[in-house]
Amino acid sequence: MRSACRVVISVGLVAALPLFAASQQTTAPQGRHWSIVVHGGAGVIERPDLGPKGDAAYRESLKKGIEAGAKVLDAGGSALDAVETVLKMFEDNPLFNAGHGAVFTSEGKNELDSSIMDGSNLKAGAVAGVTHTRHPISLARAVMEKSPYVMMAGPGTDAFAKSVGLEQVDPSFFFTEARWQSLVKQLQKEGKPVPPRPVGAPPPGAIDPVAFYDEPGDSRSHGTTGVVALDRSGNLAAGTSTGGLQGKMPGRVGDSPIIGAGTYASNQSCAVSATGSGEYFIRLGVAREICNLVRFKGMPIQQAADQVIHKELEDLHGDGGVIAITPDGQTAFSFNTPGMFRARLAEGGKLEVHIYKDEQDANQ
C-alpha cells in the first residue's frame, strides 16, 4: 500500500513539474529598458535672458550629458554609474551651478553640496561644504561605499576625499567670472560688502565661457544639477550636485545633500532629484513625499510630482522643480518656475531637451 502511494505521489509530482515550470516562466522578470532624466536647475529662465547663444549652449550641454549617461546604461552599466557619469560632466561645465561654475557665498567662496542614492538597497551618501574636491558627486558616492556614514560636512569631508584618492583642486578651480560678477551685483544691490577677489582667480577681463548668460533672474541661485536613472537590471538611482544659493551665509546647506528632500531613490517607488528653494524642499521632504504618493497611493509619477510641486510646494510659496522616474520606466518633469533645464531619454526612444515652461514635454 505504501509502495502504491509512493508511485501515485511520484507520478503526481512529475505531472506537476511542467505546470510549475510554466508558472515560474510566466512570473520571471522580463527584460527591462533603461531610461534616464537630467536637470540643470530651475528658476526665472526666459528666452530674452539666455539669448540664442545661451539657449544653444545649454541645450548642447544637456544633450551631451544625457547621452554620456545613456551610453553607460546601453552598455549594461548600473544606474549609479550613469548618475555619477553625468553629474561629473555637469560639475566640470561652467554653465551649471555645480563644481566649476558654482555660485559664491557672501564671503566669496564656493561651498559645494552633493548626494547620491541607490534604489536597490536604500544606501546613500551625501556631502556638504566641499571646497577642494573636484567632483563632489564622486565624494558622495565614496561616503556611501567606503565609509560607515551617510553624510559628511565641513573640512573633514575633503580630507576623507583625499584619503580615498579623489582628485583635489585649489578652490580657485571652481571660479568663473560670470558667477563672480553676479555675486558682486547682488551684494551691491543689497548694500552688503563685496569680499576681496578670490586668491588664484584669473584677472578681471579674462575670457569667460558663460559671458553671454546675462543673469536671468534668480536662476543663478537655483542652478542645481541632478540625474535619475533606471538600468536594465531594474534598479533606480538618483543624484544631485550644487553650489547652493548665491550669496548664502557660509555654512548654509540646502536640500541637495539631504536624503529625502533633494534626492531619493527606492526600487519600491521612484527616484527623484530636486532643484529650487532648498529650505522649502527640506520642510516638505519633497523627494520622499513624491515617492510615497507613488508607493502608497498608487499615483502615476507625473501626478505625484505635480501634486507636490504645484500644490504642496506652492502652498508654502516655494519655487523649483523635480525630475523623477519609476521602476517601470515612467518619467516626469514638474516645476513651478518659468523654466527648468531638462532632458530625458529612454532606450529606443527619442531624446527630449527643453528649457522653458511653454515647451511641450512628451509625457504631459
Give the start-to-end residue ranges of the domains of the chain: 1-30, 35-356
pLDDT digits (tens), the chain, 364 positions: 444 444 333 434 334 433 333 333 333 345 689 999 999 999 989 898 888 999 999 999 999 999 999 999 999 999 999 999 999 999 999 999 999 999 999 999 999 999 999 999 999 999 999 999 999 999 999 999 999 999 999 999 999 999 999 999 999 999 999 899 999 999 999 999 999 999 999 888 665 555 545 444 443 445 799 999 999 999 999 999 999 999 999 999 999 999 999 999 999 999 999 999 999 999 999 999 999 999 999 999 999 999 999 999 999 999 999 999 999 999 999 999 999 999 999 999 999 999 999 997 766 5
Classify residue 258 by its DSSP letter: S
C-alpha cell belonging to residue 199 = 586668491
Burial class of residue 209, CB neighbours in 10 A (0-12, 13-18, 19+) = middle
**Mapping DSSP to helix (H, G, I), strand (E, B) and coil, where does residue 60 land?**
helix
Residue 133 carries which DSSP code?
Answer: B
**What size, in residues, is the chain?**
364
Q: Whole-angstrom Cα distance, residue 141 to residue 76?
A: 20
Question: pLDDT tens digits, residue range 76-130?
Answer: 999 999 999 999 999 999 999 999 999 999 999 999 999 999 999 999 999 999 9
User: Which H or E element spans position 74?
Assistant: helix 47-74
CA angle 250, 254, 260 (to 5 degrees): 150
C-alpha count within 13 angstroms, C-beta hemisphere, residue 203: 0
d(CA 305, CA 291): 9
Of 272, 206, 208, 266, the residue nearest 240 (C-alpha): 272
Distances (CA, A) of 23 to 14, 20, 26, 212: 15, 5, 5, 61
How many Å apart are CA 52 and CA 182, to the nearest integer?
20
Cα–chain center distance at 126: 12
Q: What's the pLDDT score for residue 4?
A: 44
Query: What does each C-alpha distance from 275 to 125, 147, 189, 240, 305 come to in angstroms?
Result: 18, 27, 25, 9, 13
Report the C-alpha gap between 199 and 138 in whole angstroms: 26
- The architecture that CATH gives domain 35-356 is 4-Layer Sandwich (3.60)
The CA-CA-CA angle for residues 293, 297, 302, to 5°, reads 50
Answer for the pair 309, 259: CB distance below 8 angstroms, yes or no: no
| Predicted TM-score (pTM) of this structure | 0.89
Residues 6+ apart with CB under 8 A from 319: 42, 43, 222, 276, 277, 280, 313, 336, 337
Whether 193 contacts 206, CB under 8 Å: no
pLDDT at 343: 98
Distance CA 362, CA 111 (A): 36
Count of CB atoms situated within 10 Å of the CB of 168: 14
- Residues whose CB falls within 8 Å of the CB of residue 92, separated by 6 or more in sequence, listed in order: 99, 100, 134, 135
pLDDT at 31: 63
For the chain, what is the radius of gyration of the CA atoms? 23
Which residues, 6+ apart, have CB-to-CB distance to 77 below 8 Å?
A: 231
* Distance linking the first and last C-alpha atoms of the chain: 69
Kindly list the catalytic residues.
224
Identify the DSSP state of 45: -
